[in-house]
Chain A
Amino acid sequence: MPATYRHPRFPYRTPPELASPHRAHHPVVVVGAGPVGLAAAIDLRLKGLPVVLLDEDDTVSVGSRGLCYAKRSLEILDRLGCADPVIAKGVSWNVGRTFFRDREVYRFDLVPEPDHKRPGMVNLQQYYLEEYQAKRAAAVGVDVRWKNRVVAVAPAAETVVLQVETPDGTYELQTQWLIVADGARSPIRRMLGLDIEGKVFRDRFLIADVLMKADFPAERWFWFDPPFHPNQSVLLHRQADNVWRIDFQLGWDADPEAEKRPERVLARIKAMLGDDRQFELEWVSVYTFQCRRMAKFRHGRVLFVGDAAHQVSPFGARGANSGYQDADNLAWKLQLVVAGLAPARLLDTYDEERGLAADENILNSTRSTDFITPKSAISRLFRDAVLALAERHPFARRLVNSGRLSVPAIYADSTLNTADAEPFAGGMVPGSPMADAPIDDGGWLIDAVGGRFQLLLFVDDPAAVDRSIVDAFAVLSRARIPVDASIVARRAGVVANARVLVDVKGVATRRYDGCGAAVYLVRPDQHVAARWRRFDLEKVRAALARATCNDREI
């Protein structure tokens, strides 16, 4: 157990099904209270659904696991109401530096421009994240059931029946929908006999969490072939509580048990630090990894999210960060389906959108792994040639691949998008996650949207918004799937049926190419569904129907 962290014990309570003879039918059960399962449960609860969350354990994750949480994950956690403690406790960073042997060859900045609420990355031990999310889940009324292990699952046409084992015995739970977030080994995936396919990398890595006082800056440092660990790679990250995470590449032939011995690990770290500073080991493990995914993330009423559905190598921080995006994508769709406001095939677009995202994550993390751990002599030769050229030549820096760090997926080809009919500059194509921008006095655009469908109308002066548009806003806000309107204006003002967001620096208007009364329809997960140069109620309603898989306007 680490010296810096005490694992909480969450209270087990006898489930109501065992306390009294009643059989409840639940709309949604989530299995697995890791970061992704907790995110899905909180999101659905905030959307008004009763949610049961089952976890076989009664504490948070043990050991050094997830580490880097990307800007998009922080934005999602903001929407769920748990980003602030992550930011307060975590170590924010934007700069990554790459070394080849004893020289720095490349440096990147994840957020090269100002005017975003959240930094490129925050490093934080996964157990903290889970603790904050578990607290939030309890606060918003998720029915979290610790020490509840699913031992059997039987999907049927109208329901999924679970057998759940507890310290008080086994009980049956019926749910309309099952979200499976039970991790890479996913017991439920196995119970259902579903395959997950991909490749295992023939390499081993040593993880060491080290407690020490060090004045290294909060940056990601990556070494190829450093003098202190020749022919292999090393990655250094700063975490909270003066804990540093070091990943040493060991090669496939390394003996995991021998490598875990403290004297061996201490020698490696001493060689790396190159001085006599004091440090303590918090955690040591040796791991291998794989890049693989399930062919489909939706199986009828069973929906797989996070590591249960797809796994990547750690280079690029695309594991938990993609899992958060899964939860973000699924929650609003499931809520509409449960409420009878969208057909079940809206859930197929979860598979469509997040399946493509998983492919992109697997592609990028596989490429990073192939660059970091070349599989042939010629691959190593090209790798070293790139690194040798990178110090002096910008083109080669672009080829250096120590991990393409997690950025949110752009669902550019999604069936839910309405294609542009007019030209727009900039990157906010339909399917994109919203770019942030400062609004009002110290506020952020990303905080003003999300959780519901929303319309953004860009104008200079709110007073100039046409009466017919104001009336149309009222129609949209009263629709079965309500659309809230916001005016993004260059100056303050009041508009009926809409909230006015003042684009104080003009950044929002620029990032969205909003000049001349542009209109954006934004999904509850803050992805753009459609955009136009002029407001047209019928076009908005058609785009809303399309974004929710409804055949007719709603």
Chain B
Amino acid sequence: MKNKILLFLSVIFLSFCFIVLYKGLDNSNIYTPKDISKKTLNKFVSREFFSEDMINSEEIFFGNKFYILNIWASWCLPCREEHPALMKLSKKQSVKLIGLNYKDDIKNAKKFIDKFGNPYSIIITDVNGTISIGLGAYGIPETFVLDENKKILKKYIGPLNDQSIKEINLLLK
């Protein structure tokens, strides 16, 4: 009897798996983060942080030699940790810092900027996290260094530290 119940349950479970996998065949191409260095950035559209206008990625990545894209959020503690490093980087002329505000409450995010300073030339928001997924991000903070052709030179997972700042400086020559 016990065996029959077990058999019954496993059949139900497996049928469920079958249906899911069958459906999965239709929308294939599951996203998994890839090593996307050496690739170029995909186009995307997002909302500007202060003005809340929609802005195209083409307009953001325009006219500079290097870009640094930093994914951050006010609720993210490691982001505070790396903030001074970003402030330092923002003094460099050759590079444009872009902040991508990830799944954040806009009030909290503004408070964060008021309190710690704004290192970014422009901030865009990613309310549902899709832009970050498009970028191949694992989590936040994460930082991408891009060249003028929007090619990703390097990506940092986790907060930037002195070592990574040194590396970024080397890349930006």
B and A form one assembly: no
